[in-house]
Structures are given as structure tokens and as C-alpha cells.
Structure 1
Amino acid sequence: MDAPAAGIWPAGGASEQECEDEGKQGAVLWSLEEALERQTLQIGASACGATAVLDVLRVLGLGEAAAEDANRCVRTRLRRNESALPDYLLSRSEAGATHAQLISGAEELSGGRVAGRFFHLHPQRRVRLGPWLARWIRRGAVPVATMNMQVAVPRGEEVPDAWHHQLMFGVAPNNAIFMANPLDVVSESEVHQRLCSESVLLIRREDVLQRFSPPCHLSSLSEGFTDPRWRTLDVEGQVRQMVLEEERGQSKMAHIVIPAAYSSGVTIFALRDSDLGRDLLTTPELPLL
């Protein structure tokens, strides 16, 4: 399929103008009142992905599932808070779940009835997020955002310490996005910024320093992990600089930056044995800007 000249990318065969026009009307899977009653609140530590999968099945009419089954199918990973610093940082880089785990978890939890497709939004894509989401929602698909919540933090607010998966249950006529867990309405631009992020995670100063105590084998941050980004980001050097600042009574570095296992974007879910499900799995990737 050829990319449109500009603007939004069609969803499921729609023309660019159709997608734009339908986006202006908005689209919802639940009303705000229904979402307040039906949304699943966080089922456990680092379990926002499993929480979202439970709501995906609920929206698609597949009934209720147990929280422990969702966590098992998604294979939620936990932070190893009691570990020494290198292992703690490794656990932070992969705590929770990736979009791939959400897709496989939803498939397993639904007995194969649900299919998911992830759309990367980083690097930046040529898409109008609100109309694009609205088009999918109008066809009955269920979007889940994988967002870096450390991006687009409102002035004066503390930087969150994690990424987040959230069900996107609607789009307003002004393209604001309705989100669950927690229930929120967020501007299209703010959501889009969080959906277009490098795969990195900020770790707070206090979380680093309280786990650093000699002898601490920091060399594993450069040599012991298979992901080359630990060396590219010089995580070992960042930690040493933060420790040196602490010894000198300085506090310039509020965070270090480590690799994250997650990719920012949107996973669209649909019933596998449906025209929508087949369209979803064959729709091209969003074109690069």
C-alpha cells in the first residue's frame, strides 16, 4: 500500500479523508460511566499489562478471567528490590511486560480467540493519533497504549518511575484520549509524546545510591549484560559519576538512564476469527515521518 501524501494513516482500508471525518465524530468502547464501573484496577505490582489484557477480553465480550491467570499468561516480571545494584537495574529494565507479552498473554488467556497487533510509534510516524484510534475503535477493535510516562511530565510534577500500559477506550471529538487504570482523559498531543519515546528508563538517584555499597561489581553493567545498550548508554559510568557526586556532597544527577525492554506504541486487539481480526493482522506498519 502506498503511503498517503500527508496527515493520518488509514486504518483497516479506510481512506485518509474517511479516517479524518470519523475521528472528528469521536468513538468509544465504553462511556465514562461504564468505564468507571467496568474498568479493572491495577491487579498487582508491575501488572498494568495484565490488567489491560483483562479489560481487552471484557470489551471483546469474552467474559471475566482471574487476575492470577492474567499475570501467569502475560508472564509479568517483578522488580528485584532486594538485589544488589546491577541485578536491581536489570530487573527494572524489564519489570512488568512488553507489548509482545500482552499479545501472547491475551491469546493464551482467551484460548486463541484474541489476536493482537503492535504498531510502533517511535521513530515518529506519519499519523494523526486521535482519528487513527477512532477508526479502529469504530470497527470494534480495542487499543492498548504502551507509554513512557517519564515523557511529557507536567511542570511541577514528580517524574514517574515506570512505563505504563493503558486501555484506550475512546476518543473525544477534540481527539482527547479516554484511558483506563487509572480513569483519565488526556490530550492527543500528550499521549502521542509518551507513545513516541526511545526505549529507555530513568532510575531515581535514591534508588541507585541506596543499593550501592562497595564492593559492588559495576563492571557487569558494561560487560555482563547481553544488551549492548548498557555499554552504549555507559550505565556504569553514570553510576560512578552519581556516586562521586554523593561523595563530594553534590546532587546534580537526579536520575541515571538505562535500557528499557519496552517499545512505545499501540497494540490493537480484535477477535481473531473475524474480518476485523484478519484486516488487523495484514494492515501495514505506520509509515515513518
Structure 2
Amino acid sequence: MEAAVCEEVRGGREDDEEAGADEAMLWSVQEALEMQTLQIGASACGATAVVDVLKALGVDVTPEEADRCVQTRLRRNESPLPDYLLSRSEAGATHIQLIQGAQEASGGQVTGRFFHLHPRRRVRLVPWLARWIRKGAVPVATMNMQLAVPEGEEVPDAWHHQLIFGVTSNAVFMTNPLDVVSEGEVHQRLCSESMLLIRREDVLQRLTPDCSLSGLSESQSDPRWKALDVEGQVRQMATEEEGEEEEEENNQPKMTHIRIPAAYSSGVTLFAIRESELGQELLDAPELPLL
């Protein structure tokens, strides 16, 4: 899939309107090393990105104030399984919280606009980002890190917000952590259903005899819990655990994760000074066309 995305994004690059259309940097790598904010707290990658967005736009704010304004949600690790899973589905922040948080923390100086990249859009990611960065916009990627996992590496435990401080041909430069990732890899993570994988051990250690699994479908207002049959997934995992020896004899692989709905949408939020031509341009820009 990644190769296909790379091919799609590269396609037609020879007719870019100007040379170097796919290169733009807010900071140099050295500047990013010096200026980036490292994760400020549990599940606070969104608030961390907001600190750096405001810094890039010339607005100083403390990490504590950014986190308060973004209203980062935490995992309820000590809760029974149904409530734990609900907390996992919304832990951290959505792009809406990032936009509202940046606006509040900046005293109304900064605005943001989110661009959905799922379902797939007709866009060449790097040239599109480069055009906005050259205008002065500051991008933040909201990515499903459970996609495009390198072979042999463990599947990450969460989605992630990262500030994009620059792009060059087929490369995207991001903070927290400082990283350079291929365009295809980033694009794949930016084009994801709003789903989250929860590890087997995180489910089973909270699955107690008195745990009411019916709450996984019936008490949630989001119909996706029922559509995904989260209750059925948990029951299957529990059955596998009870029949562990039989499973091993039959060489049947066990479920490694269950899938639950996620509050997040994959895409890119662009930030700018509200009272500027760019700020108005962002707010007026159309959605990216579907592929």
C-alpha cells in the first residue's frame, strides 16, 4: 500500500508550477533541535504540538497553559474494562481540541483549519504542505501510528500529533520526536479510519469475572462500538485464553489486539495568525477533493 501511495503522491510532479515546489522549512534541523518542545505529559502530544505551533507563530505560552487550554484527556488505567476502553478511545486530544486550545492559549491571535485526508484525497502531500508552509502556515499532522509499522517492530499504542517543521522531496520533518519520515509513510498514517488497536494484555488484565461486557455496546452513544462488535471481540479473546492449550495444539494464532472506535480524525491542521490574509485564506480554503 505504501508503494502505491508513494506513486500516487509522486505522480505528475514534473508539472509542478515552479522548481522546488516540494521544499519548504519553518526551521532548520538545528533550529528544530533547539526550539522543539518534548512531550510535556501523558497523552499530551497535542498540547505539546500547540506549544510549538504558537512558538513558530511568535506567541509564547507555557506548556501548562497549553495543556489546560487543549484539555488533554487521560487514560483511566485503574477503571474496569468498559470504562478503560472508553477512555482509550478519546485519550489525548482531537484536532478540534488543538484548534480551540491554540486559539484560547494565544488569546484569540491564532486560528487553525483541519484538512481531512481520509477517505483518500486527490493531493500530492509534500507539494501541498510546502505551499502552505511558504505562506507562513504551521502544520500539525494527526496520524494513526499503528499503520505503516516497519516489519519486526511492535505496533505502537496510540495515535500521535506532530508539528511538521518542513518538507523536502519525499521527506517530512517533524518534532516530538525530531524525525524525518518518507512522504509515503506519513501519507499512509494520515489516511486512516478512526479506529484504535488495544493490546491483548491491556484487555485481559482488566477482564474480571464481575465485568459486564454488555456495557461495551449498549451504554456507548457511538454506534461504532456495536458495529465493531467490541463485546464480541473481547469474548473471543477471553475464550482463546481459556482454551490456551487447545489453541497451541491447533497452531491457531491468538488475537493480538481488539479494534475500538477512536475520537480522532486523520489529517493535517494548518495554523496561522487569525487577523492576517493567510488566516482568512485558511478559513476559506475548500476541503481537499476525494480521490
Name the TM-score, length of structure 1 as normaliser: 0.92
- Aligned ranges for residues 258-277 of structure 1 at < 5 Å? 258-277=260-279
Displacement of 1:21: 4.0
> Helix, strand or coil: the match of 2:212?
coil
**Does structure 1 conserve the Cα–Cα contact (< 8 Å) formed by 2:95 and 2:265?**
yes
Counterpart CA distance in 2 for 1:272 and 1:66 is 20
In the alignment, residue 253 of structure 1 is paired with which amino acid?
A: M
Matching residue within 71, 78, 84 for 1:75:
71
1:201-242 Cα shifts (integer Å, max 9, x gaps): 000000000000111100011100000000000000000000
| Residue among 171, 175, 193 paired with 1:176 | 171
Cα separation, 1, equivalents of 2:213 and 2:43: 26
Match of 2:50 among 49, 53, 59: 53
Q: Does the 8 A contact of 1:22 with 1:134 survive in 2?
A: no
Work out which of the residue numbers 21, 24, 33 in structure 2 matches 1:23: 21
8 A contact 2:170–2:184 mirrored in 1: no
Q: Distance in 2 between matches of 1:113 and 1:53?
A: 13
Question: Given the alignment, which residue of 107, 110, 119 partners 1:111?
Answer: 107
Partner of 1:11: none
Query: Partner residue of 1:203?
Result: 198
Give the Å deviation of 1:184.
Answer: 0.3
TM-score of the superposed pair, with normalisation by structure 2:
0.92
Residue ranges of structure 2 left out of the alignment (5+ in a row) = 1-7, 10-14, 248-252
Counterpart residue number, 2:134: 138
Partner residue of 1:190? 185
**C-alpha contact 2:25 2:165 (8 A) present in aligned 1:** yes
Q: 1:244 aligns with which of 239, 248, 273?
A: 239
Cα distance in 2 for partners of 1:136, 1:22 equals 14
2:37 to 28, 37, 40: 40
Aligned with residue 161 of structure 1, among 151, 157, 164: 157
For 1:266 and 1:164, the matched residues in 2 are separated by: 12
1:87 is matched with which residue? 83
- Count of paired positions: 272
CA distance in structure 1 between the partners assigned to 2:103 and 2:26 by the alignment: 20
- The amino acid across from 2:37 in the alignment is T
Question: Residue type of the partner of 2:83?
Answer: D
Measured in 2, the distance between the counterparts of 1:169 and 1:186 equals: 12
Once the two structures are superposed, residues 156-176 of structure 1 have per-residue CA deviations (whole angstroms, 9 ceiling, x without a partner) of 00000100000000001x230
| Residue type of the alignment partner of 1:242 | M
Residue in structure 1 matched with residue 92 of structure 2 by the alignment = 96
Inter-partner Cα distance in structure 2 for 1:29 and 1:17:
21
Using the aligned pairs only, state the percent identity: 75
* 1:254 partner amino acid: T
- CA–CA separation in structure 2 for the residues paired with 1:165 and 1:22: 27
Distance between the aligned counterparts of 1:132 and 1:178, measured in 2? 14
Secondary structure of 1:125's aligned partner: coil
Task: Answer yes or no: is the 8 Å Cα contact 1:131–1:175 preserved in 2.
Answer: no
